[in-house]
């Protein structure tokens, strides 16, 4: 959904008021008082590539076409030169079929999937790393003023996280401007939705920044690199393998972005410090989703 707010830079932003995404549930708080809160819905989405069932993911249910295309692209099943002839979403059976001119069969590939540390259905296939061989991402410079501006805008954007919690967000950005903001119960799903949008819209990746609320794990780094995005930033922390892969492919990796503070563990030479951290509001004690 395009953001209806006047002057908003977003092309897509969360819709916290969408009826199907949350449900009101009544419980009792620490004082024994009755409270009604909104909780995030989870529903299965089965993704098919042509005639083959690929995966069933637990998702909040928005943008199923983007999620399916992005998942298939990030898993190396949908190739860069593949021509998509159709995307059929059936809400009743909760399934998406992506159709291509090229005939596909990934029976052997599906046998090699490995469970990752991600929440929801976070899986990476055994040969996914092959896509990184010889890869060097564009040497895109990053200004610290952009990071501070993005963090401030994203953290105050109306979202399911602010309304209900228990959800991750990922935002595709250009310089200091957030463009596409996706949320889901798994950070992998949120990133795949962005990947799907980029594929279907033919978006350029070389000048983009990916901002995420989740941990900077190996799979997050791999997916960002395979999408061709040269900068990945997060309010959360790192894993050692994620840092190692980022350095291998030349990905600028910035974590623990909170108020005045951040730490860059890959691509420091591409970081332009053009903003005074002391001029920024220090919200380092606040916490969004991790």
All structural domains of the chain: 43-125 (3.10.20.10), 142-279 (3.40.140.10)
Reading phi first (left if > 0) and then psi (alpha if -120 to 50, else beta), residue 279 is in alpha
Four-residue CA torsion sign, 107, 119, 157, 284? negative
Position 165 scores a pLDDT of: 80
The DSSP line for 206-266 is: TT-EEEESS-B-HHHHHHHHHTT--EEEESS-B-HHHHHHHHHHT-EEEEEEETTEEEEEE
Q: Which two tokens stand for residue 117?
A: 């540390």
Amino acid 124: pLDDT: 54
Which of the two residues, 106 and 88, has the higher pLDDT score?
88
Taken as a whole, the chain contains a residue count of 290
Lowest mean pLDDT among 55-59, 162-166, 263-267: 162-166
Per-residue pLDDT at 18: 86
pLDDT at 85: 98
Least confident residue range of 68-72, 157-161, 208-212: 157-161
pTM: 0.88
Give per-residue pLDDT as tens, 90-126. Answer: 999 999 999 999 999 988 777 766 444 444 444 555 5
Which carries the bigger pLDDT value, residue 114 or residue 143? 143
Please list the residues that pair with 233 across neighbouring strands. Answer: 211, 254
The rounded mean pLDDT for the chain is 88
Strand partners, 89: 96
How confident is the model at residue 166, as a pLDDT? Answer: 81
Residues 196-217 have pLDDT tens digits of 999 999 999 999 999 999 899 9
Instruction: Kindly report, residue by residue over 214-262, the tens digit of the pLDDT.
Output: 899 998 999 999 999 999 999 999 999 999 999 999 999 999 999 889 9
Residue 57, Ramachandran bin (φ over 0: left; ψ between -120 and 50: alpha; else beta): beta
Nearest to 47 by CA among 91, 87, 96: 96
């Amino acid at each position: 959904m395009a953001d209806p707010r006047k002057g908003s830079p977003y092309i897509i932003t969360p819709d916290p008021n969408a009826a199907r995404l949350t449900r009101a549930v009544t419980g009792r708080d620490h004082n024994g008082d009755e409270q009604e809160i909104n909780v995030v819905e989870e529903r299965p989405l089965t993704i098919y590539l042509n005639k083959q069932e690929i995966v069933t993911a637990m998702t909040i249910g928005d943008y199923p076409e983007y999620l399916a295309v992005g998942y298939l692209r990030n898993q190396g099943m949908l190739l860069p030169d593949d021509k998509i002839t159709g995307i059929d979403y059936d809400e009743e059976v909760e399934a998406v079929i992506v159709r291509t001119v090229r005939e596909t069969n990934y029976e052997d590939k599906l046998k090699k999937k490995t469970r990752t540390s991600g929440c929801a259905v976070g899986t990476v296939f055994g040969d996914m790393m092959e896509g990184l061989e010889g890869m060097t991402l564009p040497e895109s410079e990053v200004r610290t003023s952009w990071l501070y501006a993005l963090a401030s805008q994203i953290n105050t954007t109306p979202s399911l996280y602010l309304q209900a919690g228990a959800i991750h967000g990922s935002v595709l950005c250009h310089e200091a401007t957030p463009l596409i903001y996706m949320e889901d119960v798994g950070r992998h799903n949120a990133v795949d939705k962005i990947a799907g949008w980029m594929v279907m819209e033919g978006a350029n990746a070389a000048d983009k920044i990916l901002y995420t609320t989740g941990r900077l794990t190996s799979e997050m780094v791999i997916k960002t690199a395979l999408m061709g995005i040269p900068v990945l930033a997060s309010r959360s922390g790192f894993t050692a393998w994620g840092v190692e892969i980022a350095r291998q492919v030349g990905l600028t990796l910035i974590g623990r972005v909170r108020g005045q503070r951040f730490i860059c563990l890959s691509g420091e030479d591409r970081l332009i410090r053009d903003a005074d951290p002391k001029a920024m509001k220090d919200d380092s004690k606040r916490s969004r989703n991790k």
